[in-house]
Amino acid sequence: MNAVISGGAAVGIWKRTIEPETGTLSAAEARALLRLRLSGPDLDRADVLSAKARAGQLTAPEERELEDYLAVGSALEFFKSKARRSLRQTKAAA
């Protein structure tokens, strides 16, 4: 599943909290964050929900569930962005 930034308030809160535009992590912290992934069953579920959404067949509870997956995916991408920036800054300083 590709992480897509949804319009939910949670995504904005995560972005302001993580500050992905700053590279303030150690190399070890950055590498650890880059290893984070959704589990296989969660990716599969998000794919099923995304397909149902494209077909216009989501129920209200499924729509909320998909929004949760998108918010978590966005937060992971914010962490990974911060991690990549931190690693670039570490390499540039070396």
Question: Does position 94 have pLDDT exceeding 80, yes or no?
Answer: no
Reading the block at residue 61, the tokens are 């509870």
Distance CA 58, CA 56 (A): 6
Q: Are 66 and 50 in contact (CB under 8 A)?
A: yes
Q: Are 82 and 33 in contact (CB under 8 A)?
A: yes
Question: Does position 4 have pLDDT exceeding 70, yes or no?
Answer: no
- The pLDDT, as a whole number, for residue 20 is 93
CATH number of the domain located at residue range(s) 39-94 in this protein: 1.10.287
Distance CA 52, CA 58 (A): 6
Q: Which residue in 7, 8, 12 sits closest to 78, CA to CA?
A: 12
- The pLDDT, as a whole number, for residue 7 is 57
- The pLDDT, as a whole number, for residue 88 is 94
Query: Which residues have CB under 8 Å from 25's CB, separation 6+?
Result: 33, 82, 83, 86
Flag whether the pTM goes above 0.85: no
Q: Residue ranges of the domains in the chain?
A: 39-94
- Tens of pLDDT, residue by residue over 25-78, are 999 999 999 999 999 999 999 999 999 999 999 999 999 999 999 999 999 999
Question: Does position 17 have pLDDT exceeding 80, yes or no?
Answer: yes
